[in-house]
Amino acid sequence: GTTFLLSCPEDLETVLDRFVQELQYAKVIGFDCEWTSKSGKPQPVALLQLATVSGVCLLIRLSHYRGPLPVRLQSILSDASYIKVGVGPMEDANKLLHDYGIVVSGCVDLRSLAVRTKETKNSLGLKGLAQSYLGVTMNKQKHIQCSAWDAPSLSQEQIDYAANDALIAAKVFSVIARSKLESNVHVASALNNAVNNTLWSIVSSYCQGLVDCKFKQ
């Protein structure tokens, strides 16, 4: 996977093609936000984290970003057919709307999905879900969690921490989805049909130039 730290429209435009391409088949976005509190008062969202299941992560520094987000990205964020997965994503979505007027629809709370699978032994925070579904122990250090997300430049620790939250959310979703798929008796035949349809379009192309033509040695 690749993580992009983005503070200006030009940089975001440059990587957006790649991000959109990765979403082509799995319309799932690991979604998280970071902000700082000053004297107990939450400041505007400083960092918006968006990750694909395939491991591409955008870290958009809203505290430094000037102007509106690219229309293409706004469309994806407001389009509920792109699922935004995380722990408490609605709260982040509401704060983005309040702080910046950014509309995020299609939020799915991983805890709700996890409760449906009834397999969770660990707690339902992202750390617990990562342990349950990925076997990964997240290093949720308070001093990073509560660090200055609007600082002039972010430390590597902050970058890794922030990217990880969105990336892990996407991966937890994909593992839950996969485990459900494997227990779904209709999936095997649906997959088989999809494969056959594709094979057929390829196979029939082999006959180009031969249909209704007599064989000539």
Could you count the other beta carbons within 10 Å of the beta carbon of residue 48?
A: 26
Minimum distance from residue 215 beta carbon to its own copies (Å): 4
Does 165 interact with Na ion (rule: CB under 5 A)?
yes
Stretch near Na ion under the rule CB under 5 A, chosen from 28-36, 54-62, 109-117, 147-155:
28-36
Contacts of residue 41, Cβ cutoff 8 Å, sequence gap at least 6: none
Residue 97 found at the interface with its own copies (CB under 8 A): no
Q: In this structure, what are the phi and psi dihedrals at residue 7, rounded to the nearest 5 degrees?
A: -120, -5
Q: CB of 7: closest distance to its own copies in angstroms?
A: 29
Residues between 77 and 96 with contacts to Na ion, criterion CB under 5 A? 92
Among 15, 26, 144, 159, binds its own copies (CB under 8 A): 26
Residue 199 within binding range of its own copies, rule CB under 8 A = yes
Residue 56: strand, helix, or coil: strand
Are 82 and 106 in contact by the 8 Å Cβ rule? The answer is yes
Per CB under 8 A, which region of 6-14, 126-134, 156-164, 194-202 contacts its own copies? 194-202
We find the least distance from the C-beta atom of residue 25 to its own copies, in angstroms, to be: 4
Q: Does 148 bind its own copies (CB under 8 A)?
A: no
* Gap between the Cα atoms of 193 and 200, Å rounded: 10
Give the shortest CB-11-to-Na ion separation in angstroms.
22
Confirm or reject binding of residue 90 to its own copies (CB under 8 A).
yes
How big is the site for its own copies, counted in residues (CB under 8 A)? Answer: 50
Is residue 217 involved in binding its own copies (CB under 8 A)? yes
Amino acid at position 162, single letter: A
Contacts of 136 (CB under 8 A, 6+ apart): 130, 168
Listing DSSP states for 69-135 in one string gives PPHHHHHHHH-TTSEEEESSHHHHHHHHHHHH------EEEHHHHHHHHT---S-SSHHHHIIIII-
**Which residues of the shown chain bind its own copies in the complex (CB under 8 A)?**
25-28, 80-81, 83, 88, 90, 105-109, 111-113, 115-116, 124, 176-177, 180-181, 184, 186-187, 190-191, 193-200, 202-204, 206-207, 210-217
